[in-house]
Amino acid sequence: MPSPRSTGIHKNQRSCSASSRRTSGAKTPPALCRSPSSMALASPVRGRPTVDFGRPLPTPSSYATSAPYLHPSSNRHQMTDKTRSDRAPIVRFAPSPTGFLHIGGARTALFNWLYAKGRGGKMLLRIEDTDRERLTPAAVDAILDGLKWLELDWTGEHVSQFAQAKRHREVAEELLARGHAYRCYLTTDELDAMRKAAEAEKRPLTIRSPWRDRDPGEAPKGQPYVIRLKAPREGETVIDDQVQGRVVFANKELDDLIILRSDGTPTYNLAVVVDDHDMEITHVIRGVDHLTNAARQAQIYAAMGWEVPVFAHVPLIHGPDGAKLSKRHGALGIEAYREMGYLPAALRNYLVRLGWSHGNDEIMSTSQMVDWFDLSGIGRSAARFDFAKLEDLNGHYIRATSDLDLMKRLEDILPFVPGGAKIVARLDANTRAQLLAAIPSLKERAKTLLELLDGAGYLFAERPLALDDKAVKLLDAEARGRLGALLPKLEAADHWLAPSLEEIVRTYAEASGAKLGKVAQPLRAALTGRAVSPPVFDVMAVLGRDEALARIRDQAS
């Protein structure tokens, strides 16, 4: 649905209407649109009415009832919200180190980074490594390298979630002590049986542990247990999401999530909540695949009486066929894009426009992105990855990059690209200077650094040149004869520069009654071994007098 999100005003009108389900509107302080609809639903515990447990809860562990009722006409909600949105945001990028940094993660990081940068805030980096079995140490480096290559910086050192396990356990214990959690002695066998039964009866599985209300004294001594959150069974948990709008979950659909495993380690949802709270994260910007987690996390926040951060769940990136990004498509590590010859600025530009827009702006500098980026510009539908558009953008950025910078990028990727090692071996002061001189004409026609390198192939070719099929066709007897006639004129050139060489060739072509193409194409074939290349006069100039003449001589008759 093309939802009206261009102006915060409109969105607010929408969200404040009684019929609307959505309450987002990041362009204006969220508080402004909270007034009638969400105020009444708001949990009065804290300023932010993100968690709503609706009607009074049956259990003593009721979260909402412990706090004093706040009359909707009070402006405290707005005050609190205002305070928060005026504060510089602290966001985080929190990848799990199970593999490389993929394209979706890169965009999430970008969005976080832009949001923080544009508001004087900061982005923190947290590695979600609580699952020790799936942890790959190399993955942490891959992620760090990927972010660095994309030029997305973060504040301070990256932190390990696992390192906080003790703190997570403390919070679980605190929840237990305060009656917001319980020890559950359900065995995996019992759990499996419940799953199978649910499947057989074709009813949804919602785990209802009998230990929730059992006397802890009945607990079997020495038997392993997990700690589950005593989640509310009635009412609703609502996420006021800056992208997804107001998303309501019926509490009866959510089961008591495990917060501490039987081995005493914290689970993801607990760890995330504790860390986000401790790191004073104000805005959680992540993929929609975490939307249901947000509901569960909101329950933990509520149980602890902590302030819930602003949530923004961004849609996922799909492959070209509309299905989830797989390894066959673009689910490559970010380093793969580097090795395919894409520029970080181009990738950033491409990624920022995937799911987010600023009017009709397509090509934008990083500082413009920082100025313009806003949560309200993010759409709700998934976007497909389109290499053609990325290539186009990359071409723009290649042309806009200075020759020296391009040279540097080229040398950076040379060790990784096919055939790169050979070029590296031949790079010396002389060839490097030649390459640099060739870049202006090369970058005009390259969409990736790889294409640029391919175009530079003539520089590193050795005599006698190998000719491709089209070049062979170009160099027929007539053409070779022309080259023979042209050769002495070129040898007599006063200056070996493109304009003077062009002058000589044009004069010859006119005198011999041939179209310029009839001379230029054979020249190109002789000089580069191909039918396609940068302008021949530039090629000659870059090659230098001796090499160019020698190559022509090789083919002339």
- The token pair that represents 293 in the structure block: 């987690």
Q: In the complex, what is the shortest distance from the CB of residue 546 to RNA, in angstroms, rounded to a whole number?
A: 21
Q: How many residues bind RNA (CB under 7 A)?
A: 96
Q: In the complex, what is the shortest distance from the CB of residue 346 to RNA, in angstroms, rounded to a whole number?
A: 12
Q: In the complex, what is the shortest distance from the CB of residue 487 to RNA, in angstroms, rounded to a whole number?
A: 17
Q: In the complex, what is the shortest distance from the CB of residue 528 to RNA, in angstroms, rounded to a whole number?
A: 9
- Tell me if residue 327 is catalytic: yes
Q: Which of 39, 159, 281, 520 binds RNA (CB under 7 A)?
A: 520
**327, 389, 422, 515: which one is catalytic?**
327
H/E element, 250: strand 245-250
Q: Say how far residue 113 (Cα) sits from the centre of its chain.
A: 10
Task: Pick between residue 9 and residue 487 the one whose CB is nearest to RNA.
Answer: 9
- Residue 71 in contact with residue 35, Cβ under 8 Å? no
Measured CA to CA, the distance from residue 131 to residue 176 in angstroms comes to 23
Q: Which of 213, 517, 550, 554 binds RNA (CB under 7 A)?
A: 517
* 338 near RNA (CB under 7 A): no
Residues 428-457, interacting with RNA (CB under 7 A): 444-445
Residues 385-424, interacting with RNA (CB under 7 A): 386, 388-389, 391-392, 395-396, 399
Residues 185-204, interacting with RNA (CB under 7 A): 186-188, 191, 195, 202-204
Chain position carrying tokens 């508080």: 31
| Burial degree of 78 (CB within 10 A; 0-12, 13-18, 19+) | middle
At residue 243's C-alpha, the angle toward residues 240 and 246, to 5°, is 30
Phi then psi for residue 340, to 5 deg, are: -85, 0
Q: In the complex, what is the shortest distance from the CB of residue 523 to RNA, in angstroms, rounded to a whole number?
A: 7
* 382 near RNA (CB under 7 A): yes
Q: Which of 117, 168, 353, 409 binds RNA (CB under 7 A)?
A: 353
Measured CA to CA, the distance from residue 257 to residue 228 in angstroms comes to 5
Task: Pick between residue 47 and residue 154 the one whose CB is nearest to RNA.
Answer: 154
Residues 229-258, interacting with RNA (CB under 7 A): 244-245, 247-250, 253, 258
Task: Pick between residue 46 and residue 353 the one whose CB is nearest to RNA.
Answer: 353
- Residue 526 in contact with residue 474, Cβ under 8 Å? no
Q: In the complex, what is the shortest distance from the CB of residue 76 to RNA, in angstroms, rounded to a whole number?
A: 28
Q: In what side-by-side order are the strands of the sheet with 310-314?
A: 159-160, 122-127, 90-93, 283-287, 310-314, 236-241, 245-250
Question: Which of 512, 509, 510, 502 has its CA nearest to residue 536?
Answer: 502
Residues 259-318, interacting with RNA (CB under 7 A): 261-263, 267-269, 288-293, 315-316, 318
So which residues are the catalytic ones? 327
